[in-house]
Structure 1
Amino acid sequence: MKQTRLMSLVESVANVIIGYGVAVVTQILIFPVFGLHTTLAQNLKLGAVFTVVSIARSYLLRRVFEAIRVRGD
């Protein structure tokens, strides 16, 4: 069964929203270990930047694999 482009985007966004929360919590816990001290606002902004990049990466990679699958049929 073929996944539509829209559903690829919806899946990627849902995955990254959950990942965003995990990333922010991880940053809060791990940054101090490396001597990086950031505010909550900075962590949220940094997480947002990586979230946008992650959505684009996940969507594009899924479309590449879908194109490969279609060519193989």
Structure 2
Amino acid sequence: MSLIEAVANVAVGFGVAVLAQVVVFPLFGLDVPFADNLLVGAIFTAVSIGRSYALRRLFEAIRVRSSDTTTAGR
């Protein structure tokens, strides 16, 4: 189920990002074709996935290290 949740999260995030770009870019005078909005959304989605993965690995390493130090004193 967590794979379905992760895919849904990425899909919804991509949709929200593209919709936000379509609304916000013109407010700043940026006239971007829809295909380019999709590409920009895809790039930021890939960056977001990488960031999320790196943070999960970091916090897992911290958790494991913390667990190792608390069990070593027993």
Does 1:38 find its partner at 2:32? yes
- Unaligned regions of 5+ residues in structure 1, if any? 1-6
Residue 18 of structure 1 deviates from its aligned partner by: 1.6
Q: 1:70 to 1:14 in 2, by over 3 A?
A: farther
Structure number with larger C-alpha Rg:
2
Corresponding residue for 1:53? 47
Listed as ranges, the matches of 1:1-73 within 5 Å are: 10=3, 13-73=7-67
Distance in 1 of aligned mates of 2:17 and 2:46 = 13
Task: Kindly report structure 1 stretches of 4+ aligned residues shifted beyond 6 Å.
Answer: none
Percent of aligned pairs with the same residue?
Answer: 60
CA RMSD of aligned residues (A): 1.6
Q: 1:53 to 1:12 in 2, by over 3 A?
A: farther
State how many pairs are aligned.
65
TM-score, normalization: structure 1?
0.78
Residue 17 of structure 1 deviates from its aligned partner by: 2.3
What letter corresponds to residue 28 of structure 1 in structure 2? Answer: V
